[in-house]
Amino acid sequence: MFDGNFRTQVDAAVKPIGHSIKRLGITADMITATGVVMAVGAAVAIGAGYLNLGLLFLVLTGVPDLVDGAVAKAWGTSSQRGAFFDSVSDRLTDGLLFGGVAWYLTATDGRPWAVILPVACYVSASLVSYIRAKADALGLDGSGGLVERAERFILLAIGLLFPALLLAILGLIVVLNMITAAQRFVKVWKQAAAPPKALSDRRRSRARRTGRTSGANRADHRGTRADRRPRR
């Protein structure tokens, strides 16, 4: 939802930042890798019970996600390899963050279902991303839906800021992820059910718009790195 409604405005806002970072000799892949390192820090901090520190690292994890596309554009290095790295790093980051939450709940809450919640968050988020990636690979449009990666980050941040609400928010994330997955599934299903000629025309039209380079990129988000690496 965030990417679909505000991505253009965000891209325009971070464009100057991308050029500034380029002048420092920092590449988009370096920015993406930094985000993964921040996610590791967040996972360790959350798992150890330092939720405020984990929240800080969570915010720092999201910053590279905002600017890596602008940096790639500034360097003129947008590529399939960059989009692939970006997408893989997103899934790894999600796993680290929810893994850290599971670690924390294992130590602080003895109820098995509580520990399962962050696992369910990751699985359902991965399903949302997979539907987008598979649709892109088939030349169809699997974007959109109720929540995307940015909304999940915001909800998780609220849970870390208010620990008493953490379990409820994790449950909410699971529900919203499944609704989004259902929305995307129906959207792609309807496109795939079109007559062969109409489907072929749609694929050609989509290929022209994306250069067929977005492919399975930014499963959750977002087009190629040139398009911001709309992650996720």
Positions marked active-site: 90
For residue 112, give both structure tokens.
Answer: 């098995």
Amino acid identity of 59? V
**Alpha-carbon span 142 to 130, nearest angstrom:** 9
What ranges in 76-148 are assigned the alpha helix state H? Answer: 80-108, 112-137
User: Do residues 159 and 114 make contact, with C-beta atoms less than 8 angstroms apart?
Assistant: no
CB-facing half-sphere around the CA of 33: CA atoms within 13 A: 6
**Alpha-carbon span 60 to 37, nearest angstrom:** 10
Query: DSSP states of 135-204 as a string?
Result: HHHTT------S--HHHHHHHHHHHHHSGGGHHHHHHHHHHHHHHHHHHHHHHHHHHHTS-HHHHHHHHH
DSSP state at residue 214: S
